[in-house]
Structure 1
C-alpha cells in the first residue's frame, strides 16, 4: 500500500533529524523495592511521557496501568519477574531492563552514574554492583575498561579516567599506563589537588575531576548510595541515574540496577540511562572496545594478575551436567568463590559463582540447595 503524504513527510523528518523509527523498549520490574510499587509505576509513567519513541514494559504490575507508552506484563514475585525479563531480553522483546536485587555472573559489574555535588557534573562510577574478578587489581583494571565503554556509548569520545585513592590504586595506575603504551589509548584525568596525577582524592569525586572514576565495587556501591541519598537522610535515593548497566566481555544483555532504596527520580533516571545506552548501541561498542583490548594485550595482563597467589591445581575438575541455577547461597568470601564451586563440582553438584546485591553468592539448582549448603559447611566455606 503506498504511503500517504503525511506518513512520507514524517519519515523524511525522522531521517533528517537522525531519529530511528524503531521504538526503544525498556522493562522495569516493580517488585522488591522498599518503596511502594506505585512509586516505581509513577516514575515509569513520567519517563514515558517525556521520552519520544520509548515504550516501558512494567513487569509485575498488579493491574493494567494506563498511560502513553506503557505496557504491563504480570509477574507474582521478583524472581518470576527476572525470569520474564531475561526471556524478553533474549527474545528481542526488550532492548534493556531496569531492576533490583539481580545477580550477575562473576566478570560482570555495573557502571553507576552520579551527580557530583560541588559542580553538578555527571560522573561514571566504575563499578557499583557485581564483581569483575576475584583479584582486586584485576577487578579494578576491568572496571576502568567497563567505565570507558559506557562513557563512549554515552557519546564521550575520549573520556578522562581517574583512579580513586584506595588499596591497589597505584598498581592499577601502572598497569593501565602500560596498557595505554601497548596500544589501548586512555585519557588519564588530572587531580584538582596541587600534586596532580590521575590518582583521585575525595575532593576530585565531589568536584567531578574525571568522567570515569575507577574504584573497587564495594567502595563504588557506597559512593553511589551516599551521593544519591545525602539530601534525604539515607532511606530514599533522590539523585542520579542509579547503579547502572552490567558490563562484561561477551555479556549480551543491557540490565541496569536500582537499589531497593531508589526513589522516583532515580528510577526515572535509570530508565533514561537505559534509553541512552540502547541508542548509543552499548553492546556493539563493548565488542569494539574488547577487540581493541585484545590487540593491546589486555587479557594477558589480567591473566597474570589472576594467577597471582593461586595454588597450582593438581587436577582439573570438570563440572557436572549444567542445570538451571535458581537458588543462591550467600556468606562465602569473594576470594573463595571459585574454590567453593569446585568443591561442589567434585561432589557431583552443578554450581556457578555470581554476585548479588548483598555480596558474593554460589548459585545451585533448587533440588541441590540443602546438599550444597551441607557440603560447603563441612568444607569450612560457610
Structure 2
C-alpha cells in the first residue's frame, strides 16, 4: 500500500470516528485493549497491553489515533495493562465465537464471491445461535458482523464467565459435533410391553438426528420396497446387505433374514422415524450412526476453535472499522438478523455521497450497497465507499484528484 493511500484511509477513518458514537463492552476498564496503526511495510504491528486508563475515552482515542484495527479482550483482569498474561490477574472471560467464511466447508475459495461467502457464513451463524439459545439456553448474547469475512458472538451469561479452557473446549466440541456418542443421546420408551432404546427427541443433537430419521422415513413411505432398498443402500455406511437387514427388521413379520427386494411386505417406517436402536440389531445401529454423521456434517457450527477456548483473546470492537475492508464492525440485534445484509448495512455513511479517484490494480466485480460494480484496472472515479473497500483490500491505490 502506497503512503498516499495509507494517509487517505487514516484520515477518513478519523472522520468516521469523529462522527460515530461507540458503546464499549461491559467492564471496559477491566479489559486489555489493542490496536493496529497504519504503519508502512508489508506486515502489521499490534500495539496491545493497554487499558482504558492508558487510552482515555474510546471516542477521543479513536479520533486521535485513527487506527487500522481496534480490539478488546474477552478476559477481564486486575491489571489489564500488565505486559504479561501472568501479571494481569485473570478474573473472568466472555465466551466468544468466531465464524470465518474462509474456513467454512461449504465455501469454495476462488469460486464463491465475497457476497456468497458471507451468505454461507450467515447460515452457519444461524446454526450456531440455535445451539447457543436452544441447547445451552444462553440469554446474554451479542451478535457482531466482523467487518471482514464473518461474524462474532459474545456470550456474557454469568454462568460461563469463570470457565477454564478445557470447559470451553467441551462447548466447542458440542457445537461442532465432535465425539458425538449415540449412546449418550438416547432414552427409553415402551414399545408395547417392551422397553426400547430410542434416539432422544426433546432437543439437542438427538432432536436433530431424529428429524432426519423422520424425513428419511417420510421419503421411504412414498417408495415401493425396491426403491426403498435402493434409497437405504445409497446412504454412506449402510450398503445393500445392511439395507435388507433394516427393511426386514421393520417389516410386519419382523423376519430379518427372509426379506428380499422382490417381496411385497408391509413396512413399519415409524420404527425408523423413532430411531429404535433395539430393532434390527447392527443394521439399525449402522443406519442411525450414518444419519448421525450426516446430521453433524450438515448442521454443526464450524467455529474457529482457538477463539472460543482462549480466555485472553482479543476481539474486534463493535462500531470500529475493519482496516482490511473499510466496512464497519456492526452489532446486530437478534430481531434484525434475518434482514441484515453486511454489504449494505455495514457500509459507513461517512463514505457515502461523493466520488474519489482510485487506481485499480486488481479488477473484478464488487457488490456493495445493493449495487454490483465491475471495475477494470486503471484510474477510475468511483463512489468513495467502493474506493475505500478496494484500497483497504489491497486492490487499488489512491488516485490523484
* TM-score relative to the length of structure 1: 0.22
Query: Based on CA coordinates, which of the two structures has the bigger radius of gyration?
Result: 2
